[in-house]
A and B are shown apart, each in its own frame.
Chain A
Amino acid sequence: MKILIQQMITGISIGSVYALIASGYALVYSLLDFSNWAHGEVCMLGAYCCFMATMVPKIPFALSCVIGIGGAALISLLNEKIAYRRIRNNGSPNMFLMIAAMGLSTTYQNLANVIWGSKFKQLPKIFSVMTLNLNGIFIGTTDMLCLGVALVVLIALLLIINKTKFGLHVQAVACSGRTARILGVRIDRIIALVFMLAGALAGLAGIMYGMKYNVYPTMGNVGLKAFIASVIGGLGSVPGAIMGAILLGFIETVVSGYISSGLRDLISFSLLILILLVRPSGLFGVDVQEKA
């Protein structure tokens, strides 16, 4: 029982890192109806930005984190400004956006390989060596820190989307970009801000992932987990993506703990296929249908 609780917490902790990536991915999907496959690489580049900053003497770790988050936001914004926006304005089909994103993803991975090599880099583990002993339940402090920060950030994100004018505009653009535009919403600005927001969340996730594990060029593959989480929760839904991510983290940890860590990805992807087959609108999808 104690082990189960311990694993639940570990699972929710990694799930909350997935949730940071998945929510940004879902935001972009909701606005533009395309799968941003470069999102995982934004996460990876954010982690490297942070890593680079930690190499500079006298920069405190907190500032390095800000640099990592800011770097990721900037890269995400550049993806939009340089690639996606032009493709949209050309009137090309959405498929082109996805292909461009795949191209960017591979490019960034290779670039990271060239610049930093394929060796693992370490982010300072601020207090990873410590484990809290709560009545026989052992929890890593890094896990706790990630979980706490992620929860605060995700709650803030949900508040931004549901309670602010910016959030309302995001929802309107998600519903119909065309109508929002002709009613005076500055949709290019909204989209740019959403890319920055998604990038910042991914950067934060990258740093957390780097603190839990390592930083390496293919770590952006964690973006796939965010994709699965998004599908579980219903594509384009931010709360759905968060729930899906936490559920996925939990399932993965339990599978690794009780069955075999080798089966972890197998189970995750089987879940993806199963949901696509049985409930393509996601587990939590309650959708208001458009009236013709």
Chain B
Amino acid sequence: MADTILIVEHLSAAYGGIRAIDDISFSVGRGEIVAMLGANGAGKSTLLKCLSGEHKRSGGEITFDGEALPAKSYSIVEKGMVVVPEGRQIFYKLTVYENLQIGCCQRKDADGIRRDLEMVYEMFPRLKERERQYGGLLSGGEQQMLAIARGLMARPKLLMLDEPSLGLAPIIVNQIMEKLKQIARQGTTILLIEQNAKKALQICDRAYVMNVGHIVMEGTGEKLLADEQLMQAYLG
């Protein structure tokens, strides 16, 4: 891979004495959509917490955009790596607009921020309609859109999403997946963490499969989608 934006090597992480991730290595190429699949408890969210600076890894190296990943979350965001956390985590007492403002809290370029605000409103017109509404009053699907839009407001090079399909109706999941493809086309690399393997495999370029803290398989979306055994063994 000529241009790799994220390289993770021998990453391990634990909670107290309990290993959640054990020596995993993978990479994400610039412009790709890479899916990380796995059942409950596989360690997917833990992986994202290591990548977003929320959880301290116990070993391994992470290289982002040619440099070692900084430790503090705000430096990671500043470098262009942004997470859309599990369960959306909307600021429920802030309005839609204010939630988006937090997304770009590190940026100083007022013009760019205004353009990006227009861009996310165009991508998610529902958010524009509800601009002044409290985040907590949005539906689950709208909250997921807001969480993604909030992430985009940071103008990330790499957007990492933790189970954006969680708890959403299939039709909404399809919409979200389409938006992710659109975001990737516009030049943002995507690391998509999912349990909904089918949907993720349909839109991704490559995927990895995690099982209890290890990566057990990797391949292109089509290849894994065709692999009946894999589906049965790890993803149900």
Co-assembled chains A and B: yes
Which A residues contact B (CB, under 8 angstroms)? Answer: 165, 168-169, 171-172, 174-176, 178-186, 288-291
Q: Which of A183, A288, A290 contacts B103 (CB 8 A)?
A: A183
Contact B92 A290 (CB under 8 A): yes
Contact A182 B92 (CB under 8 A): no
CA distance A168 to B97 in the complex (A): 11
Q: Which of A175, A176, A185, A290 contacts B105 (CB 8 A)?
A: A185
Which chain B residues numbered 34 to 85 have a C-beta less than 8 Å away from chain A? Answer: 52-54, 73-74, 76-78, 82-83, 85
Which chain B residues numbered 191 to 232 have a C-beta less than 8 Å away from chain A? Answer: none
CA distance A184 to B89 in the complex (A): 14
CA distance A254 to B85 in the complex (A): 52
Q: Which of B52, B134, B140 contacts A182 (CB 8 A)?
A: B52
Q: Of all chain A residues, which has the CB nearest B92?
A: A290
Q: Which residues of B contact A289 (CB under 8 A)?
A: 92, 136
Nearest-Cβ distance from residue A171 to partner chain B, whole angstroms: 6
Q: Of all chain B residues, which has the CB nearest A289?
A: B136
Contact A179 B92 (CB under 8 A): no
Contact A182 B54 (CB under 8 A): yes
Check B150 for interface membership: any CB of A closer than 8 A. yes
Q: A168-B98, A168-B101, A171-B94 are in contact. Are A182 and B136 (CB under 8 A)?
A: no
Contact A175 B154 (CB under 8 A): no
Check B119 for interface membership: any CB of A closer than 8 A. no
Q: Which residues of B contact A174 (CB under 8 A)?
A: 93
Nearest-Cβ distance from residue A99 to partner chain B, whole angstroms: 24
Q: Of all chain A residues, which has the CB nearest B48?
A: A182
Contact B143 A180 (CB under 8 A): no
Contact A290 B136 (CB under 8 A): yes
Nearest-Cβ distance from residue B82 to partner chain A, whole angstroms: 7
4 tightest A-B contacts by CB?
A: A184-B77, A179-B89, A175-B91, A184-B106
Check B137 for interface membership: any CB of A closer than 8 A. yes
Q: Which of A165, A168, A172, A184 contacts B73 (CB 8 A)?
A: A184
Nearest-Cβ distance from residue B48 to partner chain A, whole angstroms: 9
Q: Which residues of B contact A183 (CB under 8 A)?
A: 73, 77, 82-83, 102-103, 105, 150-151, 154
- Total interface residues on B, CB under 8 Å, equals 32
Given A172-B102, A178-B89, A288-B92, 18 other A-B contacts at CB below 8 A?
A171-B98, A172-B91, A175-B93, A176-B91, A178-B54, A179-B85, A180-B102, A181-B54, A182-B85, A183-B154, A184-B76, A184-B77, A184-B105, A184-B106, A184-B154, A288-B93, A291-B138, A291-B140
Which B residues contact A (CB, under 8 angstroms)? Answer: 52-54, 73-74, 76-78, 82-83, 85, 89-94, 98, 101-103, 105-106, 134, 136-138, 140, 143, 150-151, 154
Q: Which residues of A contact B102 (CB under 8 A)?
A: 168-169, 172, 180, 183, 185
Q: Which residues of A contact B105 (CB under 8 A)?
A: 165, 169, 183-185
A-B contact pairs, 8 of them (CB 8 A): A168-B102, A169-B105, A182-B54, A184-B77, A184-B78, A184-B105, A288-B134, A291-B92
Q: Of all chain B residues, which has the CB nearest A189?
A: B74
CA distance A56 to B52 in the complex (A): 52
CA distance A165 to B107 in the complex (A): 12
Which of B90, B93, B150 is the most central at the interface, judged by chain A CB atoms within 10 Å of its CB? Answer: B93
Contact A175 B94 (CB under 8 A): yes
CA distance A241 to B105 in the complex (A): 28
Q: Of all chain A residues, which has the CB nearest B103?
A: A183
CA distance A184 to B85 in the complex (A): 13
CA distance A165 to B103 in the complex (A): 12
CA distance A172 to B52 in the complex (A): 18
Q: Of all chain B residues, which has the CB nearest A181?
A: B73
CA distance A119 to B15 in the complex (A): 54
Q: Of all chain B residues, which has the CB nearest A169?
A: B105
Q: Which of B78, B136, B150, B151 contacts A291 (CB 8 A)?
A: B136
Q: Of all chain B residues, which has the CB nearest A171?
A: B94
CA distance A180 to B143 in the complex (A): 16
Q: Which residues of B contact A172 (CB under 8 A)?
A: 91, 94, 98, 102
CA distance A171 to B92 in the complex (A): 11
Q: Which residues of B contact A186 (CB under 8 A)?
A: 74
CA distance A182 to B137 in the complex (A): 22
Nearest-Cβ distance from residue B74 to partner chain A, whole angstroms: 5
